[in-house]
Amino acid sequence: MIKNILSGIKAYSGTLKIISQLGLWKYFWVPIFISLATAILIFSSAYALSNDIGGFLSQWWVWDWGKHTVSGISSVFGGILIIVLGFILYKHIVLALSAPFMSPVSEKIEAHLLGNLAQNHRDTNFMEQLWRGIRINLRNLSMEILLTIPILLIGLIPVIGLASTILLFLIQAYYAGFGNMDYTLERHFKYSESINFVSRYKGVAIGNGIVFMLFLFIPVIGVILVLPLSVTAATVKTVELLKLEREIG
Q: What is the pLDDT of residues 11-32, one digit of tens each?
A: 999 999 999 999 999 999 999 9
Q: What is the pLDDT of residues 140-154, one digit of tens each?
A: 999 999 998 888 788
Q: What is the pLDDT of residues 139-188, one digit of tens each?
A: 999 999 999 888 878 877 777 777 888 999 999 999 999 999 999 999 99
Contact partners, residue 124, CB within 8 Å, separation at least 6? 103, 132, 186, 187
Please state, for a pLDDT cut of 90, what percent of the chain lies above it. 52
Residue 40: the pLDDT is 86
Contact partners, residue 220, CB within 8 Å, separation at least 6? none
Residue 117: the pLDDT is 62
Residue 178: the pLDDT is 97
Q: What is the pLDDT of residues 42-96, one digit of tens each?
A: 777 766 776 666 666 566 655 666 566 666 666 666 667 777 777 788 899 999 9
Residue 24: the pLDDT is 93
